[in-house]
Structure 1
Amino acid sequence: MPAPIAPVRTLGRRLREARQAKGMTQAELGAVLGLEDENSAAPRISRYERGDRMPDEETMEALAEALDLPVAYFHATSDVLADAILLIARLPMSKQREVLSKLREWAASSKK
């Protein structure tokens, strides 16, 4: 079995994919963090995307907001969980509760 990818690498890959899907450059995304200078904005985002650095909680929230994604998406331990987080986050709260209820039912029945 292959070794799991380090969480910082997973976060970096998802961050890069989300940024590119929004059509943003690293410098543009860095500007969201208040880094107006391209000489500091792009390298900082690049370090996050390569997995060299992990954003702190406040920075992660700003990145997620700029990319219109939930923070949990970037930290999910598998792509299946990440996709589930995206799908659930797009639903209205009433539907989110329904999904959660159904998941609890499935989890309880799988224990039997």
Structure 2
Amino acid sequence: MPAALPPATALGRRLRAARLAKELTQAQLGELLFGEEDPNVAAPRVSRWERGLHKPDLNTIERLAKLLDLPAAYFVASSEVLAEAILLISQLNPRQQKQALALLRRLADDA
């Protein structure tokens, strides 16, 4: 089997990393996302997203995020720093999220 091509976009890289972290193949993720749709369609669709050839619509991004236990905003964040911040904050409980937000506001006020 040929080596996988590297993802060409931030969304593609994040999607691939999240899929692999859940130990899912592209076909498995496609089946979870699209149900019993033909695997000859679902897996290539996931592959095209990961390689940056196509971009899933927002509804699909939200469904992917739910399947992968991640916030949808993580996939569309404009930078790696924002993406990581979204991941970290999403792992906090609501009280800690408020504390993190207060800290970020203080940092922004000092800037």
Q: Structure 2 length as normaliser, TM-score?
A: 0.87
| Structure 1 segments (4+ residues) deviating >3 Å | none
Q: What secondary structure, in the 3-state scheme, does the structure 2 residue paired with 1:103 have?
A: helix
Q: Which amino acid aligns with 2:18?
A: A
Counterpart-to-counterpart distance in 1, 2:35 and 2:55: 17
Q: What secondary structure, in the 3-state scheme, does the structure 2 residue paired with 1:11 have?
A: helix
Contact 1:11 1:49 in 2 (8 A): yes
Contact 1:32 1:63 in 2 (8 A): no
Counterpart-to-counterpart distance in 2, 1:11 and 1:84: 15
Contact 1:35 1:41 in 2 (8 A): no
* Partner of residue 20, structure 1: 20
Counterpart-to-counterpart distance in 2, 1:106 and 1:26: 40
Counterpart-to-counterpart distance in 2, 1:33 and 1:68: 13
C-alpha RMSD of matched pairs (Å):
1.2
Report matched runs for 1:1-112 at 5 Å.
9-36=9-36, 37-110=38-111
Q: 1:109 Cα shift?
A: 1.0
* Partner of residue 3, structure 1: none
Counterpart-to-counterpart distance in 1, 2:11 and 2:106: 30
Q: Which residues of structure 1 form unaligned runs of 5+?
A: 1-7
Counterpart-to-counterpart distance in 2, 1:57 and 1:82: 16
Aligned positions, number: 103
Counterpart-to-counterpart distance in 2, 1:64 and 1:76: 13
Q: Which amino acid aligns with 1:39?
A: N
Q: CA offsets, 1:53-80, max 9 Å, x none?
A: 1111111111011111101111112212
Counterpart-to-counterpart distance in 1, 2:62 and 2:107: 31
Q: Structure 1 length as normaliser, TM-score?
A: 0.87
Q: Percent identity?
A: 55
